[in-house]
Homo-oligomer: A and B are copies of this chain.
Protein backbone atom coordinates (compact mmCIF):
# COMPACT_ATOMS: atom_id res chain seq x y z
CA UNK A 1 0.00 0.00 0.00
CA UNK A 2 1.21 3.45 -0.65
CA UNK A 3 2.73 5.28 2.22
CA UNK A 4 1.95 8.51 0.47
CA UNK A 5 -1.77 8.00 0.67
CA UNK A 6 -3.84 11.16 0.57
CA UNK A 7 -6.38 11.34 3.39
CA UNK A 8 -9.69 12.98 3.80
CA UNK A 9 -8.05 15.39 6.18
CA UNK A 10 -5.80 16.82 3.52
CA UNK A 11 -8.70 17.16 1.16
CA UNK A 12 -10.68 18.97 3.82
CA UNK A 13 -7.88 21.32 4.61
CA UNK A 14 -7.18 22.04 0.98
CA UNK A 15 -10.83 22.67 0.28
CA UNK A 16 -11.20 24.75 3.40
CA UNK A 17 -14.00 22.69 4.88
CA UNK A 18 -14.29 20.07 7.61
CA UNK A 19 -13.65 16.41 7.03
CA UNK A 20 -17.29 15.72 7.74
CA UNK A 21 -18.27 17.81 4.76
CA UNK A 22 -15.86 15.95 2.55
CA UNK A 23 -17.25 12.70 3.85
CA UNK A 24 -20.73 13.86 2.99
CA UNK A 25 -19.62 14.75 -0.48
CA UNK A 26 -18.08 11.33 -0.99
CA UNK A 27 -21.21 9.62 0.19
CA UNK A 28 -23.27 11.65 -2.22
CA UNK A 29 -25.17 13.54 0.40
CA UNK A 30 -27.42 16.07 -1.27
CA UNK A 31 -27.09 18.70 1.40
CA UNK A 32 -24.04 20.53 0.17
CA UNK A 33 -23.52 24.11 -0.85
CA UNK A 34 -22.61 24.26 -4.49
CA UNK A 35 -19.56 26.32 -3.74
CA UNK A 36 -18.21 23.80 -1.28
CA UNK A 37 -18.98 20.99 -3.63
CA UNK A 38 -16.82 22.56 -6.26
CA UNK A 39 -13.98 23.26 -3.87
CA UNK A 40 -14.03 19.69 -2.68
CA UNK A 41 -14.16 18.33 -6.18
CA UNK A 42 -11.18 20.42 -7.08
CA UNK A 43 -9.21 19.34 -4.03
CA UNK A 44 -9.97 15.68 -4.64
CA UNK A 45 -8.96 16.05 -8.23
CA UNK A 46 -5.73 17.82 -7.50
CA UNK A 47 -4.69 15.56 -4.67
CA UNK A 48 -5.87 12.50 -6.53
CA UNK A 49 -7.70 11.36 -3.47
CA UNK A 50 -9.26 7.90 -3.11
CA UNK A 51 -10.97 6.99 0.13
CA UNK A 52 -9.61 4.00 1.97
CA UNK A 53 -12.40 1.53 1.73
CA UNK A 54 -11.46 -0.33 4.86
CA UNK A 55 -11.32 2.77 7.00
CA UNK A 56 -14.73 3.56 5.76
CA UNK A 57 -15.96 0.14 6.61
CA UNK A 58 -14.62 0.34 10.09
CA UNK A 59 -16.56 3.50 10.63
CA UNK A 60 -19.75 1.83 9.59
CA UNK A 61 -19.72 2.31 5.85
CA UNK A 62 -19.66 -0.31 3.17
CA UNK A 63 -16.85 -2.02 1.38
CA UNK A 64 -18.90 -2.20 -1.75
CA UNK A 65 -17.56 -5.64 -2.32
CA UNK A 66 -19.40 -8.92 -2.46
CA UNK A 67 -17.75 -12.25 -1.97
CA UNK A 68 -18.33 -15.05 -4.42
CA UNK A 69 -17.48 -18.40 -2.95
CA UNK A 70 -17.05 -21.31 -5.31
CA UNK A 71 -16.09 -24.75 -4.13
CA UNK A 72 -12.79 -25.46 -5.79
CA UNK A 73 -13.08 -28.97 -7.01
CA UNK A 74 -10.55 -30.32 -9.43
CA UNK A 75 -11.09 -28.98 -12.88
CA UNK A 76 -13.44 -26.23 -11.84
CA UNK A 77 -11.76 -23.84 -14.18
CA UNK A 78 -12.43 -26.06 -17.10
CA UNK A 79 -16.07 -26.32 -16.20
CA UNK A 80 -18.28 -24.22 -18.39
CA UNK A 81 -20.87 -24.09 -15.71
CA UNK A 82 -18.61 -22.81 -12.93
CA UNK A 83 -17.01 -20.26 -15.18
CA UNK A 84 -20.37 -19.12 -16.38
CA UNK A 85 -21.38 -18.50 -12.78
CA UNK A 86 -18.28 -16.46 -12.13
CA UNK A 87 -18.87 -14.57 -15.30
CA UNK A 88 -22.49 -13.77 -14.70
CA UNK A 89 -21.91 -12.73 -11.12
CA UNK A 90 -19.05 -10.52 -12.28
CA UNK A 91 -21.30 -8.93 -14.86
CA UNK A 92 -24.18 -8.47 -12.43
CA UNK A 93 -21.88 -6.90 -9.85
CA UNK A 94 -20.32 -4.70 -12.46
CA UNK A 95 -23.71 -3.30 -13.34
CA UNK A 96 -24.06 -2.13 -9.76
CA UNK A 97 -20.44 -1.08 -9.51
CA UNK A 98 -19.73 -3.58 -6.81
CA UNK A 99 -16.38 -5.31 -6.59
CA UNK A 100 -15.95 -9.04 -6.42
CA UNK A 101 -13.92 -10.93 -3.91
CA UNK A 102 -13.50 -14.36 -5.40
CA UNK A 103 -12.90 -17.19 -3.02
CA UNK A 104 -12.15 -20.60 -4.42
CA UNK A 105 -12.92 -22.78 -1.49
CA UNK A 106 -10.58 -25.69 -1.20
CA UNK A 107 -9.68 -27.70 1.82
CA UNK A 108 -9.62 -25.05 4.43
CA UNK A 109 -12.44 -22.72 5.24
CA UNK A 110 -10.28 -19.66 5.33
CA UNK A 111 -12.66 -17.11 3.94
CA UNK A 112 -12.73 -14.02 6.14
CA UNK A 113 -16.07 -12.39 5.74
CA UNK A 114 -14.81 -9.05 6.94
CA UNK A 115 -13.55 -8.27 3.49
CA UNK A 116 -17.02 -8.17 2.01
CA UNK A 117 -20.44 -6.74 2.66
CA UNK A 118 -22.10 -10.00 1.85
CA UNK A 119 -21.55 -13.35 0.18
CA UNK A 120 -22.90 -15.16 -2.81
CA UNK A 121 -22.21 -18.82 -2.46
CA UNK A 122 -22.34 -21.12 -5.42
CA UNK A 123 -23.17 -24.71 -4.79
CA UNK A 124 -21.12 -26.55 -7.28
CA UNK A 125 -20.44 -29.27 -4.86
CA UNK A 126 -21.86 -28.86 -1.44
CA UNK A 127 -19.93 -27.29 1.39
CA UNK A 128 -22.43 -27.05 4.12
CA UNK A 129 -20.07 -26.35 7.00
CA UNK A 130 -18.93 -23.11 5.53
CA UNK A 131 -22.50 -22.13 4.85
CA UNK A 132 -23.43 -22.69 8.46
CA UNK A 133 -20.41 -20.83 9.71
CA UNK A 134 -21.30 -17.79 7.63
CA UNK A 135 -24.86 -18.00 8.78
CA UNK A 136 -23.71 -18.10 12.38
CA UNK A 137 -21.56 -15.06 11.79
CA UNK A 138 -24.62 -13.33 10.42
CA UNK A 139 -22.97 -12.51 7.14
CA UNK A 140 -25.58 -11.49 4.56
CA UNK A 141 -25.79 -14.49 2.32
CA UNK A 142 -27.38 -15.76 -0.87
CA UNK A 143 -26.91 -19.26 -2.17
CA UNK A 144 -26.92 -19.75 -5.88
CA UNK A 145 -28.18 -22.78 -7.75
CA UNK A 146 -29.14 -24.76 -4.75
CA UNK A 147 -32.36 -24.98 -2.85
CA UNK A 148 -31.80 -24.60 0.86
CA UNK A 149 -34.42 -25.78 3.27
CA UNK A 150 -33.09 -23.62 6.10
CA UNK A 151 -35.64 -20.85 6.19
CA UNK A 152 -33.13 -18.19 7.19
CA UNK A 153 -31.09 -18.55 4.05
CA UNK A 154 -31.94 -16.97 0.72
CA UNK A 155 -31.31 -18.80 -2.50
CA UNK A 156 -31.78 -18.45 -6.21
CA UNK A 157 -31.98 -21.76 -7.99
CA UNK A 158 -32.98 -23.20 -11.31
CA UNK A 159 -35.68 -25.80 -11.59
CA UNK A 160 -33.48 -28.67 -12.66
CA UNK A 161 -36.25 -31.14 -12.15
CA UNK A 162 -38.42 -29.34 -14.64
CA UNK A 163 -35.61 -28.93 -17.14
CA UNK A 164 -34.91 -32.62 -17.09
CA UNK A 165 -38.56 -33.49 -17.18
CA UNK A 166 -39.21 -31.42 -20.25
CA UNK A 167 -36.15 -32.64 -22.07
CA UNK A 168 -37.08 -36.24 -21.40
CA UNK A 169 -40.67 -35.73 -22.40
CA UNK A 170 -39.50 -34.09 -25.58
CA UNK A 171 -37.61 -37.25 -26.40
CA UNK A 172 -40.61 -39.37 -25.53
CA UNK A 173 -42.81 -37.27 -27.76
CA UNK A 174 -40.44 -38.10 -30.57
CA UNK A 175 -41.25 -41.73 -30.11
CA UNK A 176 -38.27 -42.74 -28.02
CA UNK A 177 -38.66 -45.41 -25.41
CA UNK A 178 -35.13 -46.59 -24.92
CA UNK A 179 -33.73 -43.47 -23.33
CA UNK A 180 -30.56 -43.24 -21.29
CA UNK A 181 -29.60 -40.48 -18.90
CA UNK A 182 -25.91 -39.82 -18.43
CA UNK A 183 -26.10 -38.36 -14.96
CA UNK A 184 -23.82 -36.14 -12.91
CA UNK A 185 -22.56 -36.62 -9.42
CA UNK A 186 -25.62 -37.34 -7.29
CA UNK A 187 -24.06 -35.55 -4.37
CA UNK A 188 -24.68 -32.40 -6.31
CA UNK A 189 -28.23 -31.29 -5.86
CA UNK A 190 -28.80 -30.18 -9.42
CA UNK A 191 -27.62 -33.51 -10.80
CA UNK A 192 -29.89 -35.36 -8.46
CA UNK A 193 -32.88 -33.29 -9.40
CA UNK A 194 -32.22 -33.91 -13.05
CA UNK A 195 -32.31 -37.61 -12.40
CA UNK A 196 -35.60 -37.19 -10.60
CA UNK A 197 -37.06 -35.17 -13.45
CA UNK A 198 -35.89 -37.81 -15.89
CA UNK A 199 -37.49 -40.58 -13.87
CA UNK A 200 -40.72 -38.68 -13.44
CA UNK A 201 -41.08 -38.08 -17.16
CA UNK A 202 -40.59 -41.75 -17.94
CA UNK A 203 -43.05 -42.78 -15.30
CA UNK A 204 -45.67 -40.24 -16.24
CA UNK A 205 -45.52 -41.51 -19.80
CA UNK A 206 -45.67 -45.12 -18.82
CA UNK A 207 -42.20 -46.02 -19.94
CA UNK A 208 -40.50 -48.70 -17.95
CA UNK A 209 -37.00 -47.93 -16.86
CA UNK A 210 -34.36 -50.50 -17.63
CA UNK A 211 -31.42 -51.34 -15.46
CA UNK A 212 -28.93 -49.20 -17.26
CA UNK A 213 -31.06 -46.24 -18.15
CA UNK A 214 -29.32 -44.06 -15.62
CA UNK A 215 -25.54 -44.05 -15.82
CA UNK A 216 -23.74 -41.97 -13.30
CA UNK A 217 -20.74 -40.47 -14.99
CA UNK A 218 -19.97 -37.49 -12.74
CA UNK A 219 -19.93 -34.91 -15.50
CA UNK A 220 -16.84 -36.61 -16.88
CA UNK A 221 -16.12 -37.12 -20.55
CA UNK A 222 -14.01 -40.17 -19.86
CA UNK A 223 -16.67 -41.92 -17.81
CA UNK A 224 -19.27 -41.02 -20.39
CA UNK A 225 -17.13 -42.69 -23.00
CA UNK A 226 -16.89 -45.85 -20.91
CA UNK A 227 -20.62 -46.05 -20.49
CA UNK A 228 -21.23 -45.40 -24.16
CA UNK A 229 -18.97 -48.26 -25.06
CA UNK A 230 -20.95 -50.51 -22.79
CA UNK A 231 -24.32 -49.25 -23.93
CA UNK A 232 -23.63 -49.62 -27.61
CA UNK A 233 -22.13 -53.04 -27.37
CA UNK A 234 -25.24 -54.35 -25.67
CA UNK A 235 -28.24 -55.79 -27.46
CA UNK A 236 -30.70 -53.03 -26.86
CA UNK A 237 -28.97 -49.88 -27.82
CA UNK A 238 -30.51 -46.61 -26.68
CA UNK A 239 -32.13 -44.43 -29.31
CA UNK A 240 -31.92 -41.29 -27.23
CA UNK A 241 -29.57 -39.90 -24.62
CA UNK A 242 -30.25 -37.11 -22.18
CA UNK A 243 -26.98 -35.74 -20.82
CA UNK A 244 -26.20 -33.92 -17.60
CA UNK A 245 -24.17 -31.32 -19.50
CA UNK A 246 -23.36 -30.12 -22.98
CA UNK A 247 -19.82 -31.20 -22.39
CA UNK A 248 -20.99 -34.77 -22.00
CA UNK A 249 -23.38 -34.40 -24.92
CA UNK A 250 -20.49 -33.31 -27.07
CA UNK A 251 -18.67 -36.48 -26.11
CA UNK A 252 -21.74 -38.44 -27.17
CA UNK A 253 -21.66 -36.67 -30.51
CA UNK A 254 -18.00 -37.50 -30.89
CA UNK A 255 -18.69 -41.11 -30.07
CA UNK A 256 -21.55 -41.24 -32.53
CA UNK A 257 -19.40 -39.70 -35.22
CA UNK A 258 -16.60 -42.17 -34.70
CA UNK A 259 -18.97 -45.11 -34.74
CA UNK A 260 -20.95 -43.91 -37.72
CA UNK A 261 -24.10 -43.50 -35.72
CA UNK A 262 -26.15 -40.82 -37.39
CA UNK A 263 -27.50 -38.03 -35.22
CA UNK A 264 -30.42 -37.41 -35.11
CA UNK A 265 -31.53 -40.17 -37.46
CA UNK A 266 -30.34 -43.08 -35.36
CA UNK A 267 -29.61 -41.36 -32.10
CA UNK A 268 -31.13 -38.33 -30.44
CA UNK A 269 -29.13 -36.29 -27.97
CA UNK A 270 -30.05 -33.57 -25.50
CA UNK A 271 -27.54 -31.66 -23.38
CA UNK A 272 -27.75 -29.32 -20.43
CA UNK A 273 -26.23 -25.82 -20.09
CA UNK A 274 -26.37 -24.35 -23.56
CA UNK A 275 -22.64 -24.00 -23.80
CA UNK A 276 -21.75 -21.87 -26.82
CA UNK A 277 -18.24 -23.25 -26.91
CA UNK A 278 -19.69 -26.51 -28.04
CA UNK A 279 -22.21 -25.26 -30.54
CA UNK A 280 -19.98 -24.44 -33.46
CA UNK A 281 -20.06 -27.95 -34.82
CA UNK A 282 -22.13 -28.51 -37.91
CA UNK A 283 -24.70 -30.13 -35.67
CA UNK A 284 -26.28 -27.72 -33.23
CA UNK A 285 -27.08 -29.29 -29.93
CA UNK A 286 -30.58 -29.43 -28.54
CA UNK A 287 -30.15 -28.56 -24.90
CA UNK A 288 -31.60 -27.14 -21.71
CA UNK A 289 -30.57 -23.60 -21.00
CA UNK A 290 -30.21 -22.43 -17.44
CA UNK A 291 -30.79 -18.72 -16.93
CA UNK A 292 -27.54 -18.22 -15.09
CA UNK A 293 -27.38 -14.56 -16.01
CA UNK A 294 -30.76 -13.98 -14.49
CA UNK A 295 -29.78 -16.07 -11.50
CA UNK A 296 -26.71 -13.96 -10.85
CA UNK A 297 -28.62 -10.74 -11.22
CA UNK A 298 -31.32 -11.94 -8.89
CA UNK A 299 -28.75 -13.04 -6.34
CA UNK A 300 -27.03 -9.67 -6.41
CA UNK A 301 -30.36 -7.93 -6.02
CA UNK A 302 -31.40 -10.04 -3.06
CA UNK A 303 -28.03 -9.65 -1.42
CA UNK A 304 -28.18 -5.89 -1.73
CA UNK A 305 -31.62 -5.86 -0.19
CA UNK A 306 -30.48 -8.12 2.60
CA UNK A 307 -27.60 -5.81 3.37
CA UNK A 308 -29.55 -2.59 3.12
CA UNK A 309 -33.01 -3.17 4.35
CA UNK A 310 -32.70 -6.44 6.10
CA UNK A 311 -35.33 -8.00 3.90
CA UNK A 312 -36.45 -11.43 5.06
CA UNK A 313 -34.83 -14.40 3.32
CA UNK A 314 -36.04 -14.97 -0.21
CA UNK A 315 -36.37 -18.21 -2.09
CA UNK A 316 -36.39 -17.91 -5.85
CA UNK A 317 -36.66 -20.67 -8.42
CA UNK A 318 -36.08 -19.83 -12.06
CA UNK A 319 -37.30 -21.67 -15.11
CA UNK A 320 -34.94 -23.45 -17.46
CA UNK A 321 -35.67 -23.49 -21.16
CA UNK A 322 -35.47 -26.28 -23.66
CA UNK A 323 -33.61 -24.99 -26.70
CA UNK A 324 -34.61 -27.05 -29.69
CA UNK A 325 -31.99 -27.42 -32.39
CA UNK A 326 -30.66 -30.26 -34.50
CA UNK A 327 -29.93 -33.29 -32.38
CA UNK A 328 -33.34 -34.75 -31.69
CA UNK A 329 -35.27 -36.65 -34.33
CA UNK A 330 -38.30 -38.88 -34.53
CA UNK A 331 -37.66 -42.51 -33.91
CA UNK A 332 -37.51 -44.24 -37.25
Q: How far is the CA of A99 from the CA of B63 in the complex (A)?
A: 16
A-side interface size class: 35 or more
Q: How far is the CA of A1 from the CA of B280 in the complex (A)?
A: 45
Q: How far is the CA of A137 from the CA of B47 in the complex (A)?
A: 11
- In the complex, whether A317 has a CB less than 8 A from a CB of chain B is no
> Of B83, B102, B114, B117, which one neighbours A100 at CB under 8 angstroms?
B102
Q: How far is the CA of A106 from the CA of B92 in the complex (A)?
A: 13
Q: Please give 13 more A-B residue pairs, beta carbons under 8 A apart, in addition to A2-B137, A63-B115.
A: A1-B138, A1-B139, A1-B140, A5-B138, A50-B137, A54-B115, A72-B94, A78-B277, A90-B104, A94-B106, A99-B110, A99-B112, A254-B281
- Enumerate chain B residues within 8 angstroms of A58, measured Cβ to Cβ: 52, 54-55, 58
Q: How far is the CA of A48 from the CA of B138 in the complex (A)?
A: 12
- Enumerate chain B residues within 8 angstroms of A280, measured Cβ to Cβ: 221, 251, 254
Q: How far is the CA of A55 from the CA of B138 in the complex (A)?
A: 18
What residues of chain A have their CB less than 8 Å away from a CB belonging to chain B? 1-5, 48, 50-55, 57-58, 63-65, 72, 77-78, 83-84, 86-87, 90-91, 94, 97, 99-104, 106, 108, 110-115, 117, 136-140, 221, 251, 254, 258, 276-277, 280-282
Q: How far is the CB of A255 from chain B (nearest CB, A)?
A: 11
Chain A at the B interface: SS class: mixed
Q: Is the CB of A77 within 8 A of B72?
A: no
Q: Is the CB of B258 within 8 A of A114?
A: no
- Enumerate chain B residues within 8 angstroms of A104, measured Cβ to Cβ: 90-91, 94, 100
Q: How far is the CA of A106 from the CA of B25 in the complex (A)?
A: 25
Q: Is the CB of B87 within 8 A of A138?
A: no
Q: Is the CB of A99 within 8 A of B103?
A: yes
A70's closest neighbor in chain B, by CB? B90
Copies of this chain, complex-wide, total 2
A225's closest neighbor in chain B, by CB? B280
Q: Is the CB of B54 within 8 A of A63?
A: yes
What are 24 of the A-B contact pairs (CB < 8 Å)?
A: A1-B113, A1-B139, A5-B137, A5-B138, A51-B114, A52-B58, A53-B54, A53-B112, A54-B63, A58-B58, A63-B115, A78-B277, A83-B83, A94-B104, A97-B110, A99-B103, A99-B110, A100-B102, A101-B101, A101-B102, A101-B115, A221-B280, A254-B280, A277-B277
Q: Is the CB of A86 within 8 A of B94?
A: no
Known: A137-B2, A138-B4. A114 touches B53 (CB 8 A): yes
- Enumerate chain B residues within 8 angstroms of A3, measured Cβ to Cβ: 138
Q: How far is the CA of A86 from the CA of B110 in the complex (A)?
A: 19
A112's closest neighbor in chain B, by CB? B53
> Of B50, B117, B138, B277, which one neighbours A113 at CB under 8 angstroms?
B50
- Enumerate chain B residues within 8 angstroms of A111, measured Cβ to Cβ: 99
A98's closest neighbor in chain B, by CB? B110
Q: How far is the CA of A113 from the CA of B221 in the complex (A)?
A: 41
Q: How far is the CB of A37 from chain B (nearest CB, A)?
A: 21
Q: How far is the CB of A303 from chain B (nearest CB, A)?
A: 13
Q: How far is the CB of A60 from chain B (nearest CB, A)?
A: 9
A107's closest neighbor in chain B, by CB? B94
Q: Is the CB of A100 within 8 A of B99?
A: no
A55's closest neighbor in chain B, by CB? B58
